[in-house]
């Protein structure tokens, strides 16, 4: 492959590899049974506590009611939900009360070609018709090595998505991608391999030549295309569409300017509060230049020693206008570390990914008491918070636990 040609990571890795494994293999080939593995996945999604800054996956992902997934949702599936689906093979059985027969669509089901764009076509995620047979008594088709192999893809993507990578991390991510592709052939044969799998083996070279993936992927362009498509053009042509786009853009820019000016009024005034409410109600910076600006302003650093994770209860503003001091603080309830930390995640399905995803264990529904026992201070500056975290309840060694994972792009230990 020419070093002057770049394969877009968004289409290649997320709409390519991740979607191919979940939808084309697990769903279309019926590796995931609706009453078993998919049912358990839906339970895990309902139990996850995700930061509000992240998007949401459909509650019934993998079924027609779940609809189509965007590239951003495939990213969340691989880097956030993926490392936590180790228990996908267990859970309650959802049985059907009637006998079903395979539909003609299910009998003629074939794998689809690679995606051509970020906006998936409606109905692309359709699975089987409702008159399909009950699969609650069907033996599991999930290969014992399948989830472990999918974890390799998740780990590789986590490393590739970092803002900065050393040559050792880049080599490790490249090796994980290659191992994933080779093992996929061993598990399901050559028919499941697509051109995207080959393109993915060049990702490390693209990062070496052009920097982190976020510098050259097409999320921003697809986001802008979505904004343009949302404008009502009334099917006009002959230059009218361009004029309509300009008018819509000018109106949106002018409204944003007016709201920004109103936000500069004193905080207690009605004008300030109204403008802030209107901004918060319509703000969606994901995939825009504003998001890139916000990300550049975030400070990420390596932490040494014990790291704490907590639940933010209140956000406090400390302001002294006379001297120009203005700082935000958070009132935090700190999670209680597990008393017996010796086993940790050793011997569990998460042991292979805990270091890459910085997984940590905590006592479930239990918090430290400041002043009564050793704990971090309950009031901390927002600038000291390293990363939001995802929290998932698990049962480990017969005891309820919380497992947390930071959502920061760099492989750091984090707090909430």
Task: Give the list of residues 6+ apart from residue 58 with CB closer than 8 angstroms, or none.
Answer: 65, 66, 67, 69, 73
Mean pLDDT of the chain: 76
Main-chain dihedrals φ then ψ at residue 403, nearest 5 degrees: -115, 130
Provide the pLDDT for residue 105. Answer: 44
Q: Are 84 and 48 in contact (CB under 8 A)?
A: yes
Confidence of residue 157 (pLDDT cuts 50, 70, 90): very high
Task: Give the list of residues 6+ apart from residue 131 with CB closer than 8 angstroms, or none.
Answer: 100, 101, 103
DSSP 214: G
| Res. 358: pLDDT tops 70 | yes
Provide the pLDDT for residue 198. Answer: 94
Higher pLDDT, 406 or 281: 406
Q: Which two tokens stand for residue 400?
A: 């309820």
Query: Which neighbouring-strand residues pair with 404?
Result: 360, 391
Q: Are 35 and 96 in contact (CB under 8 A)?
A: yes
Question: pTM of the prediction?
Answer: 0.72
Q: Which two tokens stand for residue 65?
A: 């009611």
Higher pLDDT, 263 or 195: 195
| Res. 97: pLDDT tops 50 | no
Q: Name the one residue in this structure whose structure tokens are 């769903």.
A: 27
Main-chain dihedrals φ then ψ at residue 81, nearest 5 degrees: -80, -40
In sequence order, what DSSP letters do the residues of 199-235 get, joined into one string?
Answer: HHTTHHHHHHHH-SGGGT-SHHHHHHHHHHHTS--TT
Provide the pLDDT for residue 284. Answer: 58
CB-neighbour burial class of residue 238 (10 A; exposed 0-12, middle 13-18, buried 19+):
exposed
Provide the pLDDT for residue 236. Answer: 65
Element (H, E) at 181: helix 167-188
Q: Are 154 and 83 in contact (CB under 8 A)?
A: yes
Of 1-5, 123-127, 331-335, 373-377, minimum mean pLDDT range: 123-127
State the CB neighbour count (10 A cutoff) for residue 97: 5
Provide the pLDDT for residue 112. Answer: 42
């Amino acid at each position: 492959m020419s070093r002057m040609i770049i394969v877009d990571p968004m289409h290649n890795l997320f709409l390519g590899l991740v979607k191919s494994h979940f939808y084309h293999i697990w769903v279309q080939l019926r590796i995931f049974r609706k009453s078993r593995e998919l049912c358990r996945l839906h339970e895990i999604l309902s139990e996850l506590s995700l930061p509000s800054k992240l998007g949401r996956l459909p509650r019934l992902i993998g079924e027609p009611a779940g609809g189509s997934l965007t590239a951003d949702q495939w990213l969340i599936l691989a880097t956030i939900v993926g490392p936590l689906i180790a228990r996908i093979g267990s859970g309650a059985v959802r049985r059907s009360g009637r006998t079903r027969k395979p539909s003609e669509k299910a009998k003629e089901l074939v794998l689809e070609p690679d995606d051509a764009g970020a906006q998936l076509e409606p109905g692309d995620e359709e699975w089987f018709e409702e008159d399909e047979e009950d699969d609650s008594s069907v033996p599991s088709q999930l290969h014992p090595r399948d989830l472990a192999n999918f974890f390799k893809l998740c780990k590789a993507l986590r490393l590739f998505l970092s803002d900065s990578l050393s040559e050792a991390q880049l080599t490790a991510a490249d090796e994980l991608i290659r191992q994933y592709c080779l093992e996929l052939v061993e598990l399901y044969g050559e028919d499941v391999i697509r051109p995207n799998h080959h393109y993915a083996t060049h990702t490390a070279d693209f990062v070496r030549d052009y920097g982190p993936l976020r510098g050259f992927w097409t999320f921003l362009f697809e986001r802008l295309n979505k904004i343009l498509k949302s404008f009502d053009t009334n099917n006009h042509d002959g230059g009218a569409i361009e004029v309509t786009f300009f008018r819509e853009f000018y109106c949106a820019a002018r409204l944003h300017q007016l709201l920004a000016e109103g936000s500069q009024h004193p905080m207690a005034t009605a004008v300030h509060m109204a403008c802030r409410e209107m901004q918060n109600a319509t703000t969606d910076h994901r995939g825009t230049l504003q998001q890139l600006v916000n990300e550049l302003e975030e400070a990420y650093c390596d932490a040494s020693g014990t790291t704490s994770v907590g639940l933010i209860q209140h956000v406090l503003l400390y302001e002294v206008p006379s001297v120009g001091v203005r700082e935000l603080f958070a009132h935090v309830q700190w999670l209680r570390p597990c008393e017996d930390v010796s086993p940790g995640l050793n011997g569990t399905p998460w042991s292979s990914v805990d270091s890459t995803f910085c997984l940590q264990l905590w006592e479930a529904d239990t918090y430290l008491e400041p002043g009564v026992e050793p704990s971090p201070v309950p009031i901390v500056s927002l600038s000291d918070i390293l990363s939001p975290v995802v929290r998932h309840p698990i049962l480990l060694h017969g005891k309820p636990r919380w497992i947390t994972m930071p959502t920061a792009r760099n492989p750091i230990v984090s707090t909430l």
